[in-house]
Structure 1
Amino acid sequence: MSPENDRIELCRNNWSRDGAQDAEKNKLKPWRVKSWVIPEASAEFVCQMEEVLDVYQRPFDQKRPIVCLDEARRQLVSETHLGFTDKNGVDHVDYEYKREGVVEIFMVAQPLAGQRQVVVTQSHNSIEWAKVVGRIVEEWYTDADRITLVQDNLSAHRKAALYEVFEPKRARTILQKIDFVYTPKHGSWLNVAEIELSILTRQGLTHRVASQAEFDQQVQAWVSQRNDKLAKVDWQFTAEDARIKLKRLYPSTIES
């Protein structure tokens, strides 16, 4: 082989080796991958989606409020070493921490009124859900004639659970004031309460909290501040928009 061919072969080998290394590096970049639950095209999904979207198009009516409910779990952690604040006002915390258990957050939001309520509990089950539903009817919306409650279709969201918490007449009275509307599977983005939970995480839970009492105090301070501002959610996405922008989710139809 000539010297020129040797150089060409060497370049090829180097390119092949370096190219393989680069390809391998590109496989190991988890920060460039975003997790997303992609719904499958189905009549069931779009039917529930459009039902929720139609609800959000209703005008504000205090006698018939639209209320959204969602839950989230948060870890309680305590510091193992004391942190400090530097001269620029920046807080510094040690990367080590101690797990102190978890709490459940129930977010109840009324988008058009700019009001929300948050309940912090130790567990997330049908009993705790039923207690929150009872508070929606009997404490927060006592003047409402009818309440539309938007939530996901979790197994814990059992109407029968109200009969396990309240005596029958009271349970029936609560349920008779609520119209349940469910977001579709893989459609949690349709729940305004989930948006409020995201805002709470960014604005109201800015440092490590070790106890449920402290956690609840921090959450309620955020609730009061946001309610005082009447921070509303102006939902603009409609069923008509969905039929265009999310056309791929709609199943093929049989024309008569």
Structure 2
Amino acid sequence: PLICLDEKPKQLLRDKRMSIPMKLGSSEKYDYEYVRNGTANIFMAVEFKAGKRVTQVTKRRTMKDFAQFMKILVTEKYSEAEVIRLVTDNLNIHKEKSFYEAFSEEEAKKILDKIEFHYTPKHASWLNAAEIEINVMDIECTGRRIGNIETLKNEVDSWTKRRNEHKRKIEWKFTRKNADEKMSKYYVK
């Protein structure tokens, strides 16, 4: 399978005062003041042709967190796959080193043998379909104040389940020809 992966930091913000619910002719009203309860991280893996996504909320975004998420993809979600072609950006945690930091050498190698890394060019992370799915998640689910990590996990899990049940696919229309037309001036000759 071709899997696109990205992550997103999320501030955990709680309302200082209760919001006033939406009613006919009036949108929800909430106070500009909030209480900051730290941050969390959301990992997003998307198999966009199949309409399948895997998400995980973590307290931090470390090499070990990335490696643990990838282990779930390799050993649980795609255990039958010979190899996972992974499209991701060049973030420092998206490297083989992360696996050797998180696992024994033997286990790291076993996981890495099933992953084929493909990195988006610098300043071109928009080529990663996971970015599109993160934007959809923000619009439909996480683009509002969420005060704690437990609520965030529940919301993201519910959203992911619903999207997967409906098999929401991303119809990628950007071709090699499009790329050559738009970016040929940046090609090294």
Bin of the TM-score, shorter chain as denominator length: over 0.9
Q: Write out per-residue CA displacement over residues 122-163 of structure 1, whole angstroms, 9 at most, x where no aligned residue.
A: 111111111111111001101101110010111122312212
The alignment status of 1:116 with 2:53, answered yes or no, reads yes
Partner SS state of residue 144, structure 1: coil
The structure with the largest alpha-carbon Rg is: 1
Q: C-alpha separation between the residues in 2 aligned to 1:246 and 1:168?
A: 40
Q: Are the equivalent residues in 1 in contact too, given 2:63–2:102 (CA < 8 A)?
A: no
Whether 2:4 is the aligned partner of 1:68: answer: yes
- SS of match in other structure, 1:185: coil
Q: State how 1:229-248 maps to structure 2 within 5 Å.
A: 229-248=166-185
Structure 2 vs 1, CA of residues 86 and 141 (structure 1 numbering), >3 Å: closer, same or farther?
Answer: closer
Provide the rounded CA distance (Å) in 2 between the counterparts of 1:161 and 1:85: 45
Mapped to 2, the partners of 1:168 and 1:206 lie a distance apart of 39
In structure 2, how many angstroms separate the alpha carbons of the residues matched to 1:207 and 1:182?
A: 30
Q: What's the secondary structure of 1:246's corresponding residue?
A: helix
SS of 2:171's partner is coil
Shift of 1:173: 1.0
- Provide the C-alpha distance between the structure 2 equivalents of 1:202 and 1:241, rounded to a whole number of angstroms: 28
**Percent identical:** 36
Q: Who is 2:13 aligned against? A: 77
Q: In proportion to residue count, which structure has more helix?
A: 1
Does residue 171 of structure 2 align to residue 225 of structure 1?
A: no
Contact 2:63 2:101 in 1 (8 A): no
Normalising by structure 2, what TM-score?
Answer: 0.94
Q: Could you tell me which residue of structure 2 aligns to residue 3 of structure 1?
A: none
**Aligned partner letter, 1:143:** E
TM-score when normalising by structure 1: 0.70
What amino acid does structure 2 have at the position aligned with 1:174?
I
On the 8 A contact 2:89/2:125 being kept in 1, the answer is: yes
Number of equivalent positions: 188
RMSD: 1.4
Displacement of 1:243 after TM fit?
1.1
Provide, for residues 55-79 of structure 1, a one-character-per-residue CA deviation record: whole Å limited to 9, x for no partner: xxxxxxxxxx000110111111011
- For 1:85 and 1:172, locate their aligned partners in 2 and report how far apart those are by CA, in whole Å: 52
SS in 1 for 2:122: coil
Q: Aligned AA for 1:78?
A: R
Query: Alignment partner for residue 211 of structure 1, among 145, 148, 166?
Result: 148
TM alignment of 1:1-256, pairs within 5 A: 65-88=1-24, 90-251=27-188, 253=189
- Residue 185 of structure 1 aligns with an amino acid whose one-letter code is K
The answer for unaligned runs of 5 or more in structure 2 is none
Q: Secondary structure at the match of 2:96?
A: coil
Q: CA deviation at 1:165?
A: 1.9
**Per-residue deviation, 1:168:** 2.4
The one-letter amino acid of 1:133's match is M
> For 1:182-232, what per-residue CA distance to the aligned partner results, in whole angstroms no more than 9, with x for missing partners?
001101101111111111001112531110000111111111111111011
Aligned to 1:34: none
CA distance in 1, matches of 2:54, 2:175: 26
Letter in 2 for 1:231: R
Q: CA deviation at 1:113?
A: 0.7
1:120, CA displacement in angstroms?
0.6
